[in-house]
Structure 1
Amino acid sequence: MAGEERWCVVTGGRGFAARHLVAMLISSSNFSIRVADLGPTIDLGRAEETGILGDALRTGRADYVSTDLRNKAQVLKACEGAEVVFHMAAPNSSINNYQLHHSVNVDGTKNVIDACIEQKVKILIYTSSPSVVFDGVHGILNGDESLPYPPKHNDHYSVTKAEGEALVIKANGINGLRTCCIRPSSIFGPGDKLLVPSLVAAARAGKSKFIIGDGNNVYDFTYVENVAHAHICAERALSSGGSVAEKASGQAYFITNMEPIKFWEFMSLILEGLGYERPKIKIPAFVMMPIAHIVEWTYKLLGPYGMKVPQLTPSRIRLLSCSRSFNCSKAKDRLGYSPIVTLEEGLKRTVDSYPHLRAEHQPKREGLSKASIYLGSGRVADTLLWKDRKQTVITLILLIAIYFNLIASGFTIITALSKLLLVISVFLFIHGNLPGKLLGYSIEKLSPSHFELSEEASQRVAMSAVSSWNNVVNVLKSLAKGNDGSLFVKVVIFLLVLSFLGAFSLQSVFVTGVPVAFLAFFIYEKKEQEIDAMVLDILSWGNKVKSDIVRKLHRSKKTD
């Protein structure tokens, strides 16, 4: 490192908060910055390419080094010649994988500490989390740094961050190294790829209507520039020397916007700012917890086969329903920290940074929906999809009348049909004898053509029946040859399903089938993209499982 240049390292430098810190460090002109992250090269967005980071990389004020914290040699190289290390790297907290989090948050942090000591780095600032003092059960209101680590943490991310934090605090003073830990609470702001995009995805899927818990849990959110500012305040305090540095080092600090707010009010402000409705329906946390456990168990089972990381997990339910607010007095006193962007301004900047996610820019369907196409795009589709509300209501009234008069009474299919035909015959007879006008209303007579089947329609019905019969005969022929095992399995499954359905009474089929018909197609039309994506995920997972099983069987045959 040439001349009087002062270099600092930002691990995980391509992460959300780290990008803002890098930009702030470049703007401060106090350091040349080495960005350390997993990628083999740095991939800049258009705004970064033309912004201060792109300019700093071109002029040599910043450089990039590919670094895996689990590789000590790479960490040593990244810290070479550095005066300050901002250790911000951590895995995605939503992935509740102990091995992953321990390898990065604990083993990786050990490598960073060792590299700082060997490379004679003066200052190490570790980005921790308020979750290190959260047990997932008891809420925290205005908590300060005297709170101990709980006996049991909410998830693997929290317990490993606590272990990493303890290691950094313990390393303070070794070989002249000064350390401290920053605990920023619930970071938000432009560039976030988790909070706002997931909120919008939930809103577009119709899932943002719900509040988990009573909705009164209080949170401390921190605008991302305030988080970056807190790191710079910590570096200034630790590098100032004397009693200030002595007092500031070897400590952990909560960092917030100092403006506690109800969690669900904050979420509502973001949703409303983007044009979506705020959540209103409250669901008790104890109702959601069993479902979350099932989802988590399913992910553990199917995760290796490609299942996406679920959002609905027990640890997430606890985070959404408990209070978590923290006191920043210690950071204000020892680091000189105070927010530089208010919560209101931070929310405005955040919402303004996602114009493409606004409700009015939601992709719209063109042409007929798949549900309408599947139903023939005719009167049946209009009825089941509530396109013709009058027709739908009349149909529902008729179905209810049929149920109570013909099905609920316990009739068999034959007696029900005969009674239905009797009712229709009486209705047609009375209708045929009514005058053309009754009480000032015109009565439209039913012409014989209403009941006639055209020659073309008759041919279609006959051809369909013949085709179905021939298909059945071809299946029987194939089975008789005894060489199509796949077909045999399909036939067996079909007959088992048929026998299962046949066990249901007419009453059960009617009570279940009618609501499903009216709800399923209606919901599918509204959530077509989400349901299709879910089906594709299930099919791709099924194909992956099938290929894995075939591969294992093939290997076992080779071994034999």
Structure 2
Amino acid sequence: MSADIFVTGGSGFVGAATVRYLSNAGYWVRALSRSEASDRAIRAAGGEPVRGDLESVSGTHLAGCEAVVHAAAHVRAWGRWRDFRRVNVAGTARLLAVAREAGVRRFIHIGTEAALFHGQPMCDIAEDDLPLALRSPYPYARTKAEAERLVRAADDPVRGFRTIVLRPRMIWGPGDRTLLPALAQMVETGRFAWVDHGRAATSTTHIDNLTRAIALALEHGEGGSVFFITDGETVTLRDFLSRLAASIGLTLPDRSVPGGWLRTIAFVVEPTWRFLAPEREPPITRMVAAMLACPCTLRIDRARSELGYRPVVSVEEGLARLRQSAIRSARVPNPEGAGAG
């Protein structure tokens, strides 16, 4: 297919992978860029950068585009409420309005399972099993819930403006700038510890599976729908994170703390920290403590049946690819290299 697609967050992990995938699939991709560095990243992925941000985006940026993939978000464990609202809520609202007026026909919003999260376990849930967490105590979760509500409400079949929400969980893979770097930093600084020995079960989403789902959502799916997107497997945090870390030659320590204890500590630390040092992230936040302590497994039956989605990369294959990439870049030793020659 040859069509113009507009992507936000195009120099980030998800956005850059989306630009690359869609460009390779034959789409003409434009991506919102805030800097020369972002321009270079977008061009390297095969897209055309257009300068602006979510506060200044206009119909000129989107002229001629048939679809929008909204991957930009303020993703933090810590920060000011107004910053989360400015990007995740106000930015989404503005982009929706501009897209509708520009004649865009499809709006794909990259949401998150965190939009349902207020500190509770989520086990084997389907998309409509829980309400949006519009009263979540966590800024990221609440503002992503508010953004999702805006996106779904904006679906307008009469005007031909259809919206889709995709909810991945724990996105990982090549290009990740969050999960693996955070693990490495915690290990290096001696701050890493398992919560309840890492027993919590979780779903995960390889970046290649997410970009495949995005491409499918551009063509399929009823407007106003929401879809969980995962690798289709359930793993424990300990098994997954240990193998993820091992892919770059990193060994995670065995130290563990009780989940209830950690959540209590975070409940005390966070408000104190916000009062004494609001510009610095505390060693633990309530949201991170809760997410590490609670299982989160998601069903993808709806994505399978309505989008035709099938994971294209298994957890095992994705981890093997990461390890091979690390070997090629000499970050970890090649176990088959000794004595070769």
In the superposition, the TM-score normalised over structure 1's length comes to 0.55
Instruction: Decide whether the 8 Å contact of 1:214 with 1:321 is kept in 2.
Output: no
CA RMSD of aligned residues (A): 2.4
Instruction: Decide whether the 8 Å contact of 1:41 with 1:64 is kept in 2.
Output: no
1:38 counterpart residue number: 34
Query: Does the residue aligned with 1:42 lie in a helix, a strand or coil?
Result: helix
2:234 counterpart residue number: 260
In structure 1, give the amino acid aligned to 2:13: F
Instruction: Decide whether the 8 Å contact of 2:121 with 2:294 is kept in 1.
Output: yes
Query: How big is each residue's C-alpha offset from its partner over 1:248-292, in whole Å with a ceiling of 9 and x where there is no partner?
Result: 221110000001100121111122333333342321122223432
1:196 counterpart residue number: 180
Distance 1:91 1:192 in 2: 16
Distance 1:182 1:316 in 2: 22
Instruction: Decide whether the 8 Å contact of 2:134 with 2:146 is kept in 1.
Output: no
2:338 counterpart residue number: none
1:473 counterpart residue number: none
1:277 counterpart residue number: 251
Query: Does the residue aligned with 2:219 lie in a helix, a strand or coil?
Result: helix
Shift of 1:320: 0.6
Instruction: Decide whether the 8 Å contact of 1:12 with 1:38 is kept in 2.
Output: no
Shift of 1:95: 2.9
In structure 2, give the amino acid aligned to 1:336: G
Distance 2:268 2:170 in 1: 26
Shift of 1:92: 2.3
2:168 counterpart residue number: 184
1:109 counterpart residue number: 92
Q: Which runs of 4+ in 1 moved over 6 A?
A: none
Query: How big is each residue's C-alpha offset from its partner over 1:121-142, in whole Å with a ceiling of 9 and x where there is no partner?
Result: 1111111101111221x21111
Among 313, 316, 319, the residue aligned to 1:347 = 319
1:142 counterpart residue number: 124
2:69 counterpart residue number: 86
Query: Does the residue aligned with 1:338 lie in a helix, a strand or coil?
Result: coil
In structure 2, give the amino acid aligned to 1:259: E
Q: How does 1:122-161 map to 2 (within 5 A)?
A: 122-136=105-119, 138-147=120-129, 148-150=131-133, 152-161=135-144
Q: Does 1:69 align with 2:54?
A: yes
Distance 1:82 1:303 in 2: 44
Uncovered stretches (5+) of structure 2, i.e. residues with no partner: 334-341
Instruction: Decide whether the 8 Å contact of 2:248 with 2:331 is kept in 1.
Output: yes
Q: How does 1:43-442 map to 2 (within 5 A)?
A: 43-44=39-40, 53=45, 56=46, 62-71=47-56, 74-136=57-119, 138-147=120-129, 148-150=131-133, 152-173=135-156, 175-208=159-192, 210-237=193-220, 248-303=222-277, 307=280, 309-354=281-326, 358=331
Instruction: Decide whether the 8 Å contact of 1:33 with 1:63 is kept in 2.
Output: yes
Q: 1:175 to 1:349 in 2, by over 3 A?
A: same
Uncovered stretches (5+) of structure 1, i.e. residues with no partner: 57-61, 239-247, 361-560
Q: 1:313 to 1:353 in 2, by over 3 A?
A: farther
Instruction: Decide whether the 8 Å contact of 2:39 with 2:49 is kept in 1.
Output: no
Instruction: Decide whether the 8 Å contact of 2:133 with 2:141 is kept in 1.
Output: no
1:9 counterpart residue number: 6
Distance 1:11 1:183 in 2: 16
Instruction: Decide whether the 8 Å contact of 2:34 with 2:51 is kept in 1.
Output: yes
Distance 1:351 1:296 in 2: 36
In structure 1, give the amino acid aligned to 2:76: S
In structure 2, give the amino acid aligned to 1:319: M
2:19 counterpart residue number: 22
- Report which of the two has the higher share of helix: 1
Shift of 1:202: 1.6
Q: 1:153 to 1:290 in 2, by over 3 A?
A: same
Shift of 1:357: 9.3
2:336 counterpart residue number: none
In structure 2, give the amino acid aligned to 1:175: R
- Relative contact order higher in (CA < 8 Å, ≥ 6 apart): 2
In structure 1, give the amino acid aligned to 2:257: I
Q: 1:272 to 1:63 in 2, by over 3 A?
A: closer
Query: Does the residue aligned with 2:209 lie in a helix, a strand or coil?
Result: helix
Query: How big is each residue's C-alpha offset from its partner over 1:10-48, in whole Å with a ceiling of 9 and x where there is no partner?
Result: 01111101111110101101x211011332563436xx8
Query: Does the residue aligned with 2:270 lie in a helix, a strand or coil?
Result: helix
Percent sequence identity is 28
Query: Does the residue aligned with 1:175 lie in a helix, a strand or coil?
Result: coil
Structure possessing the higher radius of gyration over alpha carbons: 1
Distance 1:351 1:109 in 2: 36
In structure 2, give the amino acid aligned to 1:228: T
Instruction: Decide whether the 8 Å contact of 2:9 with 2:15 is kept in 1.
Output: yes
Query: Does the residue aligned with 1:69 lie in a helix, a strand or coil?
Result: coil
Instruction: Decide whether the 8 Å contact of 1:7 with 1:83 is kept in 2.
Output: yes
Distance 1:106 1:12 in 2: 15
Query: Does the residue aligned with 1:25 lie in a helix, a strand or coil?
Result: helix
Distance 1:222 1:122 in 2: 27
Query: Does the residue aligned with 2:159 lie in a helix, a strand or coil?
Result: helix
Instruction: Decide whether the 8 Å contact of 2:134 with 2:142 is kept in 1.
Output: no
Query: Does the residue aligned with 2:271 lie in a helix, a strand or coil?
Result: helix
